[in-house]
Amino acid sequence: MIQVQAVLPGASPETMASAWHTARASIRTHRGVTEMTSTSLLGASTVVLQFDLNRNIDAAARDVQPPSTPRAASFPRTCPNNPSYARSTRPTRPS
């Protein structure tokens, strides 16, 4: 699982969601993505990616990072930082 979070203080949930539109389309093409969910709130948006268990999490993280940068993801230039990434190799669902 890889979680990507972007913050843009004061941005509406709609602005945050639309900023991810380009990135989501690109991420869907990456090998091993089995599920993608997103949540957008006032000033923040989080995208959670689930990968096939056979997919190397380090390689998946490298694949996901470039299209998720603010510029590529259509984030306004006022976005103070690049999105942050967190990854986990723990299963998120019971076996």
**d(Cα 1, Cα 9) in Å, to the nearest integer?**
26
- Domains, the chain: 2-87 (3.30.70.1430)
- Per-residue pLDDT of the chain in tens (95 residues, 90 and over written 9): 888 888 889 989 998 888 777 677 767 777 888 998 889 999 998 889 899 888 888 888 887 775 555 445 556 666 777 788 888 765 555 54
**d(Cα 80, Cα 77) in Å, to the nearest integer?**
8
**Which residues, at least 6 apart from 87, have a Cβ–Cβ distance to it below 8 Å?**
1, 2, 3, 57, 60, 61
Q: Return the pLDDT at 42.
A: 94
Nearest to 75 by CA among 32, 18, 4: 18
The secondary element (H helix, E strand) that includes residue 87 is strand 84-87
Single-letter amino acid, residue 16: M
Q: Return the pLDDT at 70.
A: 46
